[in-house]
Amino acid sequence: MPDLTAFGPLDLVAAAFSTPLFSLLLAGLLAAGILIILTRPREDAAPTELSDDVRRSLRRRYLPERRTLSIAALAVIVLFVGELVLSGYVLDLVDAVAWWRYAAPLLMAALGLGVLLALVLTRGTAPSEVPVPPVARRTWRSFGPRWGIVGAGILALVLLATTVIAGLASSANSRGWYVWLEIPIANEPGVDPLRPWFYGWTYGVPVLLCLAALVAVAWAALHANAARPYLRPEAVVAEREGRRGVASGIVGVASAGMLLALAGAWRLIAGAGTITDVVIEGQNGGAYEATWRYAELAMLLGWLAPLLEIAAFVVLLLVVAGVPRSVQSGAPAVRPLGVEALR
């Protein structure tokens, strides 16, 4: 039994955050806190003015979509944790290049949103029961959370930049797989460089492909969600709220997939960063100095990776719980003053 008193508080924190499962645990606590705050009764809740028929139509359209989003978010978590447990404790993958680990959250998110897109295009795009004259152009941005979309865009760019830069810095192993980072021995050019495992093209190319698929599917789902006709004039305000909920879920699942992929990439890059200013004493008394100039940056990314994981899991858990949930729960979706009221 190791003596825990031999480690400092920072060592213990670092050890805890070395596994994404600890991030999931923290995210679970955070998400529970957020849910408790969000489920408090609100004083400004107005009584709904919709008839039972209209409410039924709304539920028939939006409830399956919100459930699909919840299942998609849950699938991303289960796949991520399952892969972690299988590769870490069940399967022997010591020499395997586990490229799928970094692409899997993106692929799972893309598949989940693909199912949602199919649902929106089939069951969710029925013709209006009573035609609603269009007022404004509805695009993929119409119902999306504005800052959420901006954040997702930034995430996609950061993941793209990380993957390309790390890929360019990587080197191939004897089998031609770009999974190494070569760190030269500065004072002994004749000596073979150090070759730690690194987030090279072998990991990066599947990530880029899945990222492209995820962005395309998320865009298509946002567009299909916005462009479909409204059911009836009196349901427009409630439908806008329902579409906002669906759009938030789409952006949330896509962002969480990218956060998990990015966190995995940063963890792997940070692994190479631990080899900084290594000095190896040779047998003949000489010293070999291996220095990677970006080691500090890589270490910083390693510290930030758990924060990305926590953010991703919180978002996914909130989507699983169906936040926001106006149409789904039948809670007030119509307020006394809606955008249509003044039109």
**Lookup result for tokens 């149409």:** 327
Least CB distance to other proteins at residue 53 (A): 19
Nearest residue (CB) to other proteins, 101 versus 228: 228
Nearest residue (CB) to other proteins, 66 versus 138: 138
Least CB distance to other proteins at residue 234 (A): 14
Least CB distance to other proteins at residue 58 (A): 17
Least CB distance to other proteins at residue 40 (A): 16
Nearest residue (CB) to other proteins, 215 versus 224: 224
Tokens of 37: 């705050």
Q: Cα angle at 112 between 320 and 160, to 5 degrees?
A: 105
Nearest residue (CB) to other proteins, 111 versus 117: 117
3-state secondary structure 87-117: HHHHCCCCCCCCCHHHHHHHHHHHHHHHHHH
Nearest residue (CB) to other proteins, 101 versus 138: 138
Taking each helix axis from N to C end, the angle separating 236-273 and 295-320, rounded to the nearest 10 degrees, works out to: 150
The span from the CA of 323 to the CA of 331, in Å, is: 12
What number of other Cβ atoms are within 10 A of residue 71's Cβ?
16
For 117-139, give the DSSP string. HHHHHHGGGPPPSS-----S---
Least CB distance to other proteins at residue 221 (A): 17
The span from the CA of 109 to the CA of 89, in Å, is: 25
Nearest residue (CB) to other proteins, 38 versus 135: 135
Q: Cα angle at 63 between 58 and 64, to 5 degrees?
A: 125
Nearest residue (CB) to other proteins, 233 versus 271: 233
Least CB distance to other proteins at residue 330 (A): 18
| Helix ranges, 170-294 (H) | 201-227, 236-273
Nearest residue (CB) to other proteins, 64 versus 233: 233
Instruction: Name residues whose C-beta falls within 8 Å of residue 258's C-beta, 6 or more positions apart in sequence.
Output: 105, 106, 109, 152, 155, 156, 159, 211, 214
Least CB distance to other proteins at residue 243 (A): 13
Judged by the rule CB under 8 A, the positions of this chain that interact with other proteins are: 44-46, 127-128, 131-138, 227-230, 237, 335-339, 341-343
SS3 287: strand
Nearest residue (CB) to other proteins, 127 versus 190: 127
The span from the CA of 285 to the CA of 77, in Å, is: 51
SS3 171: strand
What does the DSSP 8-state code read for residue 288? E
Least CB distance to other proteins at residue 224 (A): 11
Least CB distance to other proteins at residue 136 (A): 7
SS3 172: strand
Identify residue 22 by its one-letter amino acid code: F
The span from the CA of 121 to the CA of 82, in Å, is: 31
